[in-house]
Amino acid sequence: MKRLVLGILVIAVIIYLGVNRYRNHNMKTDVHNQKVLQGREATSQKKPCNCSYNKYNCADFSTQAEAQKCYEYCLSLDKADVHRLDGDNDGIACEHLP
């Protein structure tokens, strides 16, 4: 009888350890997935600006380079000069900015 109880205990411990291992593994996978998601968000935030409509004027940029980046980015999306940052169409956006 004692042997049977001992055997059941051993089996219970083995099952308990197994479940814990499985849980830990799942938690690690979740953390990994979260990191991957955060990485993807960070990449999508690297867009220089929103090109979907005329949202910015030169005054919204602090430097010419910034305005130029947005201007060229929108051009690359076939949105042309959606923000009208290059009024004289010479390819340089907001030339009066520093």
Using CB under 5 A, list all residues that contact Ca ion. Answer: 54, 57, 83-84, 86, 88, 90, 92
Which tokens in the block code for residue 81? 């000069």
Smallest gap from residue 92 Cβ to Ca ion (A): 4
Residue among 51 and 83 whose Cβ is closer to Ca ion: 83
93 burial level (CB within 10 Å; 0-12, 13-18, 19+): buried
Closer residue to Ca ion (CB): 39 or 81: 81
**Closer Cβ to Ca ion, 25 or 84, answer by number:** 84
Question: In which region does residue 26 sit, left (phi positive, over 0), alpha (psi from -120 to 50) or beta (all else)?
Answer: alpha
